[in-house]
């Protein structure tokens, strides 16, 4: 009994925290809780406004309403159809288009994941915001005040490197070192690795507004700004996570088709 009591006493001593340190810890927790409470809260599953209501056919009402019956207009504005492409940009777009037939993909990548039919979630904490979609494509936006990594730490990736800050209720994200987006998904704009993306995201009523400005000295003649609105699409109550691994879109004689060989 005595031995057990001594053991407990030793343990308690080992874990004892001096009173001033404990108070400091509580202050830190209180400060973080306050910081958390002050942040916007954007729960739900957010879909590009023009993609809302997508049916089992795979088409959104907005896509079919303004089109003829045999094709749909482009409603993915981040594709950059209206961007100020320079000669190199135009060359790249023509090249991507020429090679697009029958190309397979495994996801949207950045920036197209911000403008696709795939719902997004925003998980906001004081230190970091995570933006993730139903393909588990994730962006990690550090908002703890750190600077962008140094030049020697840079490496181009599909989703780039991001830091962010809050300007009131607006999340401002700067993203760099994004691999040519069209290398990952053939419908994406062929920006260079020198492109810099600045997003300003805020809640406006029931819509999430994202103003995206892209500057790219390699492919654009000047900054290009496009505004995307997201809304909550009813019907989603959890993330349906499945890999993008059954792309059966083929191409025959310049026209897409379904590859008929079924995947077992």
- Find out whether 197 and 178 touch, Cβ atoms under 8 Å: yes
Interacting residue with other proteins among 53, 126, 149, 156 (CB under 8 A): 53
Interacting residue with other proteins among 90, 125, 221, 251 (CB under 8 A): 251
Q: Is 236 in the site for other proteins (CB under 8 A)?
A: yes
**Shorter beta-carbon distance to other proteins: residue 27 or 81:** 81
**Shorter beta-carbon distance to other proteins: residue 225 or 249:** 249
Contacts of 255-261 spanning 24+ positions with Cβ under 8 A: 256/101, 256/102
User: Which pair of tokens denotes residue 158?
Assistant: 């599909």
Q: Is 205 in the site for other proteins (CB under 8 A)?
A: no
Task: Give the DSSP H/E element, type plus range, for residue 227.
Answer: strand 224-232
The binding track of 114-143 with respect to other proteins, each residue x by CB under 8 A or -, is --xxxx--------------xx--------
CA neighbor of 46 nearest in space, from 243, 242, 258, 207: 207
User: Which pair of tokens denotes residue 155?
Assistant: 């490496």
Q: Is 85 in the site for other proteins (CB under 8 A)?
A: no
With tokens 């897409």, the residue in question is 256
Interacting residue with other proteins among 33, 221, 225, 256 (CB under 8 A): 256
Q: What is the CA radius of gyration of the chain?
A: 24
Q: Is 65 in the site for other proteins (CB under 8 A)?
A: no
Q: Is 95 in the site for other proteins (CB under 8 A)?
A: no
**Shorter beta-carbon distance to other proteins: residue 76 or 141:** 76
Task: Give the DSSP H/E element, type plus range, for residue 5.
Answer: helix 2-15
Q: Is 260 in the site for other proteins (CB under 8 A)?
A: yes
**Shorter beta-carbon distance to other proteins: residue 2 or 255:** 255
Give the residue ranges of DSSP H helices in 16-138: 19-38, 61-65, 87-99
Interacting residue with other proteins among 10, 35, 73, 183 (CB under 8 A): 73
Please list, in sequence order, all residues whose beta carbon lies within 8 angstroms of the beta carbon of residue 54, skipping any fewer than 6 positions away: 47, 60, 117, 233
| Residue 230 CB-half CA count within 13 A | 24
With tokens 């001593």, the residue in question is 13
Interacting residue with other proteins among 2, 5, 65, 263 (CB under 8 A): 263
Smallest gap from residue 136 Cβ to other proteins (A): 11
Q: Is 59 in the site for other proteins (CB under 8 A)?
A: yes
With tokens 């691999």, the residue in question is 179
In terms of DSSP bridges, do strands 128-133 and 138-142 run parallel, antiparallel, or are they unpaired?
antiparallel
C-alpha to C-alpha distance for 106 and 213, rounded to whole angstroms: 26
Smallest gap from residue 56 Cβ to other proteins (A): 5
Interface segment toward other proteins; rule CB under 8 A; list 54-62, 83-91, 157-165, 222-230: 54-62
**Residues in touch with other proteins (CB under 8 A):** 50-51, 53-60, 63-64, 67-76, 81, 97, 100-101, 105, 116-119, 134-135, 185-187, 233-236, 240, 242-249, 251-252, 254-260, 262-264
């Amino acid at each position: 009994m005595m031995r057990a009591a001594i053991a407990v006493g030793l343990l308690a001593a080992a874990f004892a925290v001096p009173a001033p340190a404990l108070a400091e810890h509580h202050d830190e927790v209180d400060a973080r809780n306050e910081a958390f409470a002050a942040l916007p809260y954007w729960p739900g599953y957010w879909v590009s406004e023009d993609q809302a209501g997508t049916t089992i056919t795979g088409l959104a009402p907005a896509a079919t309403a303004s089109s003829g019956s045999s094709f749909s207009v482009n409603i993915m504005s981040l594709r950059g159809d209206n961007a100020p492409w320079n000669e190199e940009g135009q060359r790249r777009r023509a090249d991507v288009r020429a090679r697009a037939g029958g190309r397979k993909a495994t996801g949207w990548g950045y920036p197209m994941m911000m403008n696709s039919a795939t719902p997004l979630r925003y998980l906001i904490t004081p230190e970091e915001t995570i933006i993730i979609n139903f393909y588990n494509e994730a962006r990690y936006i550090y908002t703890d005040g750190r600077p962008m990594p140094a030049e020697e730490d840079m490496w181009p990736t599909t989703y780039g490197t991001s830091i962010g800050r809050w300007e009131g209720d607006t999340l401002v994200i700067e993203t760099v070192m994004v691999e040519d987006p069209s290398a990952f998904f053939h419908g994406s704009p062929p920006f260079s690795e020198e492109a810099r993306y600045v997003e300003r995201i805020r809640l406006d009523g029931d819509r999430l507004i994202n103003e995206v400005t892209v500057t790219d000295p390699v492919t654009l003649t000047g900054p290009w700004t496009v505004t995307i609105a997201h809304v909550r699409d009813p019907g989603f109550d959890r993330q349906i996570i499945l890999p993008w691994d059954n792309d059966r879109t083929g191409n025959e004689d310049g026209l897409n088709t379904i590859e008929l060989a079924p995947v077992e």
